[in-house]
Structure 1
Amino acid sequence: MTSTQLLVEHEGACATVIISNPAKRNAIATATAADLVETLQGLDKNPDVRVIVITGEGDCFSSGGDLDEFLSTVSAGASVLWDTGEPWQKLFGLIPTLSKPVIARVVGPAMAGACGLVAACDFAYAAEDATFGSPEIKIGLFPLFILPALLNRMGQRHALDLALTGRSIGSADAARMGLVNAVVPKNELDQLINDQVQALAKLEPATVRRGKHAFHKISSTGAEEGLELARGLRPAFMCSEELRRGIEKFFNKKGAKA
């Protein structure tokens, strides 16, 4: 059984994590999920990295969970399955907690757990040939770990559509449903992502970190609780050195134009 590797490439302020196992359509086993957690945490601590991109090797983002592994665990027992669920729980809860933006670069299929990984990323950009789906129900499973990410991105109706029918959708429908930010021809995808990387890399890292934290905290509450959280989080932004520098830069630029 060939194992899936994670390749990490650095270019400027961007680190790209490549899910690599073309022979198995870049399948994600439990060990892969654990490696992704460790890799993303390591990149988040690297001060030279401002943005993280996740993609698959070749013409496939990922087929999702490793079915060979799933078959081998059918008789594993509840306690073993509880323990092996930990890396998956960590993976799909991790990205919102990272201090750096994470972008999914999607070419070809992004199915099952990989579809959830796309949903969990902060941004997702897809080539026109990309396809998405959560077909677990067709083999007697249900997309449990990825369901919170699908709900957050797509809302209840679209998430239930994918989860309960198991159907696949194209990139245009994925954009319409909120799963991806934008769809472009394949030969334009890397330029689109590079433009977004460059824009994000210019921002103050501390402000991005606080902003991501505030966004995910506020978006997970109701309107009244969100306003209370906003009031409590406000001093962290208003008293920051980043704000002082930003305002000084604004006035200096305005004075130069006068």
Structure 2
Amino acid sequence: MTSTDLLIQREGPCAKLIISNPPKRNAIATATAAALVDALNALDQDPDVRVIVVTGEGEYFSSGGDLDEFLATVDAGATQLWETGEPWQTLFGLIPTLSKPVIARVVGSAMAGACGLVAACDFAYASEDATFGSPEIKIGLFPLFILPALLNRLGQRHALDLALTGRTIDSADALRMGLVNAVVGRDQLDDLVGQHVAALSKLEPATVKRGKHAFHKISSVGFTEGLELARGLRPAFMCSEELRRGIEKFFNKKGVKA
């Protein structure tokens, strides 16, 4: 039984996390989930990294959770299952809290936990041949850890559709549902991801950090509460050096004195 490695490639301001176990379609074991947590936290603290890209090695993004591991834990007690659930809970709750944008680059299949990982990322770009699904119900499971990410990304109807039917959808349906931002031919995918990495890398890191924080805080509450949060968060942006520099740059470009 082969284990899943996590490879890290640095390309300028971009750090690419590659889920690597091609013989098992890049299955994600609990140890892999823990490694993803450690790598994401480390890269988020690296000042040279502006954008993180998550992808799979070869022809697949990931088949999701490692079924060999699941089979081995069928007879585990509740305490053990509670403890081994920690890396999964942490992983799916982590990405919204990171200061760096995280992009899912999807080719081939992104199933079960991997589909949830795509939903949890800030952005997702897929090849035309990519497929997605949450088929856990077909083997007697239910997608518990990924359900919050699916609900946030897809809304109740689409999330229930995937979770309760277990059906596989193509990239066109994933785009329609809002699971991915864009779909292109496989030969165009790296260029598309690269364009977004370049655009995000030009932004002020502190503003991106505050922006992600504000977005997820406001989106997690109701309309009225969101406006109250916006008012409270406003000084962090309005009093920042990034805003001062941005306004000066704007006026300099226009040839007007501030």
TM bucket (normalised to shorter chain) is over 0.9
C-alpha offsets along residues 25-69 of structure 1, whole Å, 9 cap, x if unaligned? 000000000000000000000000000000000010000000000
What is the rounded CA distance, in whole Å, between the counterparts of 1:144 and 1:179 in structure 2?
18
* Alignment coverage as a number of residue pairs: 256
> How far did 1:144 drift?
0.2
Secondary structure of the residue aligned to 1:154 is helix
Q: Report the AA paired with residue 125 of structure 1.
A: Y
Q: Report the AA paired with residue 115 of structure 2.
A: C
> How far did 1:169 drift?
0.1
Q: Report the AA paired with residue 22 of structure 2.
A: P
Secondary structure of the residue aligned to 2:255 is helix
Q: How does 1:190-229 map to 2 (within 5 A)?
A: 190-229=190-229
Q: Report the AA paired with residue 116 of structure 2.
A: G
What is the rounded CA distance, in whole Å, between the counterparts of 2:149 and 2:160 in structure 1?
12
Aligned to 2:160: 160
C-alpha offsets along residues 184-203 of structure 1, whole Å, 9 cap, x if unaligned? 00000000000000000000
What is the rounded CA distance, in whole Å, between the counterparts of 1:190 and 1:163 in structure 2?
30
Q: Report the AA paired with residue 10 of structure 1.
A: R
Secondary structure of the residue aligned to 2:62 is coil
What root-mean-square deviation, in Å, do the aligned CA atoms of Structure 1 and Structure 2 show?
0.6
What is the rounded CA distance, in whole Å, between the counterparts of 2:44 and 2:255 in structure 1?
37
Aligned to 2:128: 128
Aligned to 1:88: 88
Any stretches of 5+ residues in structure 1 without a counterpart? none
Aligned to 1:113: 113
Aligned to 1:142: 142
Secondary structure of the residue aligned to 1:61 is coil
State the 4+ residue runs in structure 1 displaced beyond 6 angstroms.
Answer: none
C-alpha offsets along residues 186-224 of structure 1, whole Å, 9 cap, x if unaligned? 000000000000000000000000000000000000001
Percent identical among aligned pairs is 82
Aligned to 2:176: 176
What is the rounded CA distance, in whole Å, between the counterparts of 1:211 and 1:94 in structure 2?
16
> How far did 1:239 drift?
0.1
C-alpha offsets along residues 135-165 of structure 1, whole Å, 9 cap, x if unaligned? 0000000000000000001000000000000
What is the rounded CA distance, in whole Å, between the counterparts of 1:158 and 1:170 in structure 2?
14
TM-score (ref. length: structure 2): 0.99
What is the rounded CA distance, in whole Å, between the counterparts of 1:71 and 1:171 in structure 2?
30
Aligned to 2:9: 9
Aligned to 2:18: 18
C-alpha offsets along residues 67-112 of structure 1, whole Å, 9 cap, x if unaligned? 0000000000111000000000000000000000000000000000
Aligned to 1:65: 65
What is the rounded CA distance, in whole Å, between the counterparts of 2:156 and 2:255 in structure 1?
49
What is the rounded CA distance, in whole Å, between the counterparts of 1:132 and 1:238 in structure 2?
41
Q: Report the AA paired with residue 243 of structure 1.
A: L
Q: Report the AA paired with residue 191 of structure 1.
A: D
Any stretches of 5+ residues in structure 2 without a counterpart? none
Q: Report the AA paired with residue 28 of structure 2.
A: I
Aligned to 1:39: 39
Secondary structure of the residue aligned to 2:16 is strand
TM-score (ref. length: structure 1): 0.99
Secondary structure of the residue aligned to 2:144 is coil
